[in-house]
Structure 1
Amino acid sequence: MMGPKYEYRMDMRQQQKERRGIGRMEEEFGGVGMGIIGGCSGGCSGGGNGGMEIEDRLKKEAANTGFEYHVKENKRKRTTEADESSGTGNDKQRREMQEQEQREVYNNENPTKRLTMGLVRMYQQVNEQFSYRQEMRPRRALTKPSDGVQNDGYDNEDSDYILYVDDIIGEKYRILESLGSGTFGQVVKCEDLDTGDMYAVKVVKNEKAYYLQSMVEVQVLNMLNNEYDCFDQHHFLVMREHFMFRNHLCIVSELMSINLYELTKQNNYRGLSTNLIRVFTRQILDGLCVLKQAKIIHADLKPENILLRHLQLPSVKIIDFGSACFEDKTKYSYIQSRFYRAPEVLLEMEYGAAIDMWSLGCIVAELFLGLPLLPGTSEYDQIRRITMFFGVPSTSVLALSRKATVYYKRISFDSWRLKTPFEYSASNLNPNPNPNPNPNPNPSLNPNLNLDPSFSFSSSSTTTTNTTNTTNTNTTNNTTNNTTNNTSSLVGTDHFAFSNLPDLILNHPFKDSLLPHELEIESRSRLVLLDFLTRLLQLDPSKRMDPFEAISHPFITNYYPHSTDTPTQFSIPNSNSNSNSNTTISNPSSILSISSDGKSDLSFITQ
């Protein structure tokens, strides 16, 4: 037997169905909303016979559902008078009629909406003397901590400007909500009070270093928007203006949608299709080609800095040039987010625009896998993961590094291996090691990885090299315990079942819904993707593809020409070591063309 709650839900569902039907009828006949008592909003009363037919139909539906239907006779009368009237003298009357109709529509709104979003209007309808002022509403802080301790109380202890909802910055930008915060400051969604348009406003910290670096971002965006991308075609964020407000630099830019990290998150970290990845990567490369021409290094490419324009379209833009620099002014050594940091930056080598290509390779791999390819928990762990997937850098590369001996141990003239976590910890985290010998260090450094002091990656062999006898740093039992504790925080968990790129890409699970011919196409597409990633993720930056080479790669063009001049195969270096074994793609000209339309892949966002 149905209880009262169940019957109430059925009534509400019936009301919702009626609202939808009434809405469709309003569109069809152009009628004006009428009321159904009992909370059912909507209704129609059009002019002429069409309106009468709808009214009769509504009366019947109301009788069937147990609702009472009331026709407002004065409304039909006013509508008829308005249709017959003419001249400018009736404009005021028409406006009054429209206002009256709006009030009646409001009276028929869903009660829940009326008591929340329309609470103030409801009070004003009940009592015309009710007065409400926005400035009397309690201020809601968007900044944490929100205690003003600097800059005459406007800034918190972190030099962030304390932002409140509905506050006005820059004379005309009303703060609506927070969009995020970072090293340089905060980003909020604002309304332009002059036009009603929405913008994103970055409020930079009140510190000289952040101000100077953010002015570089302003300079870069000005250059890109006004010189290299005047028509907004190359996928860069468009800056509207910048100004100073209470000692804070504010940068106003167009409002974007979610970023690529949020996209993969909404897809339950399952990764995206190769079609959609191709669409995104082509657009990013288009922007990187322009940066290459302008001799600009972004220096912080990551999924969070690639934003969708709209949820309905697979169109992206590159944002956040707060870490950008010009190729002839690379004075900072600590740049890029760790997961996407290039080897030359980790090893403190000279760097250039190639670091953005490494970051792009990491981004593309993450979009495919659904998880970061190299999620290092420390700089050592980042080097360890890079070495695990791509081997030890060549001797010629390490010779240019100021930190080669920090992470690697030389075992011969042209051969290096990665230091064990114990060796790295002992030599870098323990400033005063005790020289007393202890030939038996704790072999259980990390239960997740089962690493011990004999663990290593060698630049001359794929086999494990025993280093117990070659370890020069020995400690006492007490120091050993401390060092072992340090190593537990150095190395993170490996989430992938494979430790080389070919196996990881080619064995990634396929969608269950793929048909046999689609499975064949996807398999071939993955081989091309693997070659694309391998050419981006080269340890030697001089061997890495630049944006112009990458945008011409078969994975991006999705076409491999049939020609006698085209090689019948191309090889993918084995990324697990420096061995000579290769993974080969035979007959690449047989790779089928796949549509680059990625709209359907975005359908899950709006579900």
Structure 2
Amino acid sequence: AQVMRIALREVQLLKAVNHPNIIKLQCAFRTPSGRVCMAFEYGGKSAHQLRETRFPHGIPEQLLQRFAFQLVQALRYLHLQKIVHRDVKPANVLVDAAGVLRLCDFGFARHLPAADGYISGGADSNVDVPLTPYVITRWYRSPEVLLGMKYGTPTDIWSLGCTLAELAIGEPLVPGTSSLDQIGRITALLGPLPTHMTARVAHALKHGGAAAAPAGSTVAAAAAGNDTPLRRRLGARLVPELVDLVEACLRIDPRDRPTAEQLLSMPYF
């Protein structure tokens, strides 16, 4: 039943959007057994496949810039429509032979509430829908989602930063093994959590982060953080303008992240 709800929601959302950098739904129908089938335009290979098969050490700068621009355009459009994708990652970015990028997989996408533009976090928020892809998708989750806080379009900006960094360096930026370990890796890379977020680490513990956390991924480590080595990790491999863009996307406090519209005015583009 849950898979059916996700499929129907994806159909509804895709029928409502129209942008050259968002995959187009050609048709959808139910089989006699009740399953929902969707037919899409051909989008090519995923950026994840391209990275693994053709560019294991990172996608070349000129090509990556072209991809990044199109992906930000897609997010700008969605966010103006008050839609948050919630699953931006290399596997959900398709690129065809002409270099046209299309964002796909809208199964987790949501229309934002009109009231405040945020989705409530927590155990009842459907953030942690029990489906296999979320084992991997954790690597692209924003701190506010990991900590069960309210979230909105800035969570897509965070995932964008993780995605671009991965495509540039050829490996995931923060491959955590649990929610708590993910927070620990984020703070090790970017510095300590803001005060208003630190208290939420206990929430991550309560909702399953601790059981799967490896040695060293303690609440203390996650909350304390250290100096930010992001620039040291990226600076030698990426052009400064891309480092600036990724760093802006990966500001821990979602209120400090630029919008997709603001990203388009950064020097990288």
The equivalent of 2:197 in structure 1 is 397
State how far apart, in whole Å, the 2-side matches of 1:428 and 1:283 are.
38
1:452: how far off? 9.7
2:107 aligned with 1:322, yes or no? yes
Aligned-partner residue type, residue 44 of structure 2: S
The equivalent of 2:221 in structure 1 is 456
Aligned residues: 251
2:30 aligned with 1:244, yes or no? yes
The equivalent of 2:245 in structure 1 is 532
Q: Equivalences for 1:516-531 in 2 at 5 Å? A: 526-531=239-244
Distance 1:428 1:272, change over 3 A: closer
Write out per-residue CA displacement over residues 508-556 of structure 1, whole angstroms, 9 at most, x where no aligned residue: 3xxxxxxxxxxxxxxxx72111111111001100101110001111112
Aligned-partner residue type, residue 393 of structure 1: L
Match of 2:126 among 326, 332, 336: 332
1:391: how far off? 1.6
State how far apart, in whole Å, the 2-side matches of 1:348 and 1:391 are.
20
Q: Equivalences for 1:100-249 in 2 at 5 Å? A: 208-225=1-18, 229=19, 233=20, 235-246=21-32, 247-249=34-36
Write out per-residue CA displacement over residues 173-215 of structure 1, whole angstroms, 9 at most, x where no aligned residue: xxxxxxxxxxxxxxxxxxxxxxxxxxxxxxxxxxx22212211
2:241 aligned with 1:542, yes or no? no
Aligned-partner residue type, residue 244 of structure 2: D
The equivalent of 1:561 in structure 2 is none
The equivalent of 1:380 in structure 2 is 180
State how far apart, in whole Å, the 2-side matches of 1:367 and 1:299 are.
19
Distance 1:460 1:501, change over 3 A: closer
Distance 1:356 1:457, change over 3 A: closer
| Moved segments of 4+, more than 3 Å | 427-430, 455-462
State how far apart, in whole Å, the 2-side matches of 1:457 and 1:354 are.
21
Aligned-partner residue type, residue 542 of structure 1: R
1:396: how far off? 2.3
CA contact (8 A) 2:148 2:203 kept: no
CA contact (8 A) 1:406 1:428 kept: no
1:326: how far off? 0.8
For 2:26, what is the secondary structure of its paired residue?
strand
The equivalent of 1:281 in structure 2 is 68
CA contact (8 A) 1:334 1:345 kept: no
Q: Equivalences for 1:464-475 in 2 at 5 Å? A: none
State how far apart, in whole Å, the 2-side matches of 1:252 and 1:284 are.
22
2:148 aligned with 1:351, yes or no? no
CA contact (8 A) 2:188 2:225 kept: no
The equivalent of 1:301 in structure 2 is 88
Q: Equivalences for 1:5-84 in 2 at 5 Å? A: none
1:502: how far off? 0.7
Aligned-partner residue type, residue 367 of structure 1: L
Structure 1 gaps, min length 5? 1-207, 409-424, 431-444, 463-498, 509-524, 557-607
1:457: how far off? 5.8
The equivalent of 1:257 in structure 2 is 44
> Max radius of gyration: which structure?
1
Distance 1:461 1:214, change over 3 A: closer
For 2:163, what is the secondary structure of its paired residue?
helix
Distance 1:250 1:457, change over 3 A: closer
State how far apart, in whole Å, the 2-side matches of 1:535 and 1:307 are.
24
Higher share of residues assigned strand? 1
CA contact (8 A) 1:339 1:382 kept: yes
State TM-score, norm by structure 1. 0.39
State TM-score, norm by structure 2. 0.84
The equivalent of 2:122 in structure 1 is none
Aligned-partner residue type, residue 377 of structure 1: T
CA contact (8 A) 2:174 2:182 kept: yes
Write out per-residue CA displacement over residues 477-530 of structure 1, whole angstroms, 9 at most, x where no aligned residue: xxxxxxxxxxxxxxxxxxxxxx8211111233xxxxxxxxxxxxxxxx721111
RMSD: 2.8
Structure 2 gaps, min length 5? 120-124
Higher share of residues assigned helix? 2
